[in-house]
Amino acid sequence: MIEIDSALIFYQLTRILIALAAQKSDRSRHEFSFERGQKLIRGLLRSHSDRFLQPSAQAVGLIFRPPIEMVAVMGLASSLPSPLLNSTINLA
């Protein structure tokens, strides 16, 4: 589920940045390649992620403190997962 949410967030981020780039360059957003844009954004995030995260580490802690506390209090599973779910089946 987290992978799907992350993909949707990255998709939206790419669309937003393309729209802002189009606005800045007085072009239509349809003139931009989604594939090329997402590759550029992914490369930038991979190579500079520490620069994005470092200044906001304290802010993130403050922002996520209430949800973390809520999940800690209310987010426990009603029962533990079955050991069968974590085991592998050998079909050979």
24 — pLDDT class (breaks 50, 70, 90): very high
pLDDT at 73 over 60: yes
Burial 54-87 (b: 16+ CB within 10 A, else e): eeeeeeeeeeeeeeeeeeeeeeeeeeeeeeeeee
Helices 2-24, 34-53: inter-axial angle, 10-degree rounding: 100
pLDDT at 20 over 90: yes
- Residue 39 belongs to what H/E stretch? helix 34-53
Q: For position 3, what pLDDT does the model report?
A: 87
**Upper half-sphere CA count for residue 1 (Cβ side, 13 Å):** 0
